[in-house]
């Protein structure tokens, strides 16, 4: 198969899709906390609820559309539709008049994410040999994160040019997102003649009975850990300890995403060599360290360090976790497995957002970060048990 810069074509172009989509999305997300709190008057608890609910909604849908993708043996149509729906919502943000309208639009955007993520991840996993899964997911997450670096950077430069008009920025973000949808022209369905006859989906169910014990333990660890991982839009309010959130939120978001992008491919490759489980333990530990830094310090250097370590956590867990999930499930339920992983992350994010946002609003940020660190430490326990099992994963 002819490769593009050493990568399978599907992997390369799915990376481009992620780059353009996140360039577009992160231009908006980078300024959303400031837009909601300063323009629309939303309280911190709303930020936690907004992103938590949006991620939970997307995650539940990922289970269904992952299963449906397995059932009809199609991946691309779900991915294209999902990205298209999310991109379409971005221009509507320019018209909102209150923060509850943002809630509805973000919910629709997450429906698009629910359509696309599990089938896309299954398509990526099916496009390569198992020896390249970690590297391929690492590349896809890196391209995703490069877009997430360019988005906040663009927001920092564009906002002064449009006199701080967030709504104009939202229109520009919509234009960038169109290129994500157009990139799918070069993406093809991946078919494996040896396993295709096995792909007969069971009836839809929220049950994990059809999955291995290792996969269930993995999902349990991710869920418990996730109840401490507050939405990034809430964490970014820590930037107000440095100065104006209108300026420092996109800058700290940029720091986070540069760290994420820098470390994603190296740790994806490392996970192929030493196993995904070992890398994930390191990533979970990095998140706990970042939260403890946020809880204990409010100096600019400490906050920057905290966001660098938080980016390292994402680099060590995001793509690596998906690669591990693809190895812990049978091929015929590959997309379903990705859906359940996303659901564990999303539903726990809702709980973390609600609880963390409430603690932040009534008892302050330090208490919120301590809560998060404690819950993440508890999530390490079942995962350390999983990591202790003899396995090459």
Taking the domains of the chain in order of start, what are their residue ranges? Answer: 9-186+211-388
Class of domain 9-186+211-388: mainly alpha
**Mean pLDDT in residue range 93-117:** 89
Q: How far is CA 103 from the centre of its chain?
A: 19
- Indicate if the pLDDT at residue 180 is higher than 60: yes
Q: What is the pLDDT of residue 52?
A: 74
DSSP 152-185: HHHHHHHHHHTTT-HHHHHHHHHHHHHHHHHGGG
* Least confident stretch, 5-19, 154-168, 189-203, 357-371: 189-203
Kindly tell me if the per-residue pLDDT of 17 is higher than 90: yes
Q: What is the pLDDT of residue 110?
A: 86
Give the separation between CA 136 and CA 280, rounded to whole angstroms.
Answer: 17
Low-confidence winner among 189-198, 290-299, 310-319 (lowest mean pLDDT): 189-198
Residues 6+ apart with CB under 8 A from 241: 298, 303
**pLDDT grade for 194, boundaries at 50, 70 and 90:** very low
CA distances to 4, 127, 148, 275, 331 from 1, in Å: 10, 11, 30, 27, 22
Q: Does the pLDDT of residue 386 top 80, yes or no?
A: no
Confidence of residue 239 (pLDDT cuts 50, 70, 90): confident
The answer, yes or no, to whether residue 151 has pLDDT greater than 80, is yes
pLDDT at 196 over 60: no
Q: Which residue, chain included where needed, has tokens 């994402």?
A: 314
Q: What is the pLDDT of residue 201?
A: 53
Q: Give pLDDT, residue 231.
A: 85
Band (pLDDT 50/70/90 cuts) for residue 334 is confident
Q: Residue 26 CB: number of other CB atoms within 10 A?
A: 27
Q: How far is it, in rounded angstroms, from Cα 238 to Cα 230?
A: 12
pLDDT at residue 9, rounded to an integer? 87
The pLDDT of residue 246 is: 62
Helix (H/G/I), strand (E/B), else coil: 94: helix
Average pLDDT of the residues of the chain: 85
This prediction has a pTM of: 0.72
């Amino acid at each position: 198969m002819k490769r593009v810069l050493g990568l399978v074509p599907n992997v390369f172009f799915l990376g481009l899709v992620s780059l353009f989509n996140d360039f577009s999305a992160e231009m908006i997300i980078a300024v959303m906390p400031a837009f909601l709190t300063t323009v629309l008057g939303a309280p911190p608890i709303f930020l936690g609820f907004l992103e938590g609910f949006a991620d939970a909604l997307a995650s539940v849908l990922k289970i269904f559309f992952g299963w449906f993708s397995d059932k009809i043996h199609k991946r691309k149509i779900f991915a294209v539709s999902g990205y298209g729906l999310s991109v379409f919502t971005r221009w509507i943000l320019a018209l909102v008049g209150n923060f509850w309208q943002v809630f509805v639009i973000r919910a629709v955007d997450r429906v698009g994410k629910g359509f696309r993520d599990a089938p896309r991840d299954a398509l990526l996993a099916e496009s390569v040999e198992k020896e390249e899964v970690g590297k391929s997911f690492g590349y896809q997450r890196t391209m995703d994160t490069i877009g997430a670096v360019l988005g906040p950077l663009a927001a920092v430069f564009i906002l002064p040019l449009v006199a701080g008009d967030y709504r104009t920025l939202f229109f520009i973000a919509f234009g960038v997102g169109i290129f994500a949808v157009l990139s799918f022209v070069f993406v093809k369905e991946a078919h494996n003649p040896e396993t295709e006859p096995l792909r007969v989906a069971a009836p839809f169910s929220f049950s994990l009975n059809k999955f291995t014990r290792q996969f269930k333990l993995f999902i349990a660890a991710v869920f418990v850990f996730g109840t401490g991982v507050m939405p990034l839009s809430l964490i970014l309010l820590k930037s107000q300890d440095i100065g104006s959130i209108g300026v420092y939120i996109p800058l700290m978001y940029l720091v986070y995403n540069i760290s994420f992008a820098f470390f994603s491919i190296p740790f994806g490759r490392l996970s192929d060599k030493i196993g995904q489980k070992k890398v994930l333990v390191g990533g979970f530990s990095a998140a706990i360290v970042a939260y403890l830094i946020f809880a204990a310090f409010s100096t600019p250097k400490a906050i920057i360090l905290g966001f660098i370590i938080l980016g390292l956590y994402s680099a060590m867990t995001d793509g690596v976790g998906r690669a591990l999930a693809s190895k812990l499930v049978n091929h015929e339920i590959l997309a379903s497995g990705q859906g359940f992983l996303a659901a564990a992350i999303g539903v726990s994010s809702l709980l973390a957002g609600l609880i963390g946002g409430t603690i932040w609003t009534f008892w302050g940020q330090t208490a919120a970060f301590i809560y998060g660190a404690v819950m993440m430490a508890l999530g390490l326990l079942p995962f350390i048990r999983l990591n202790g099992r003899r396995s090459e994963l």
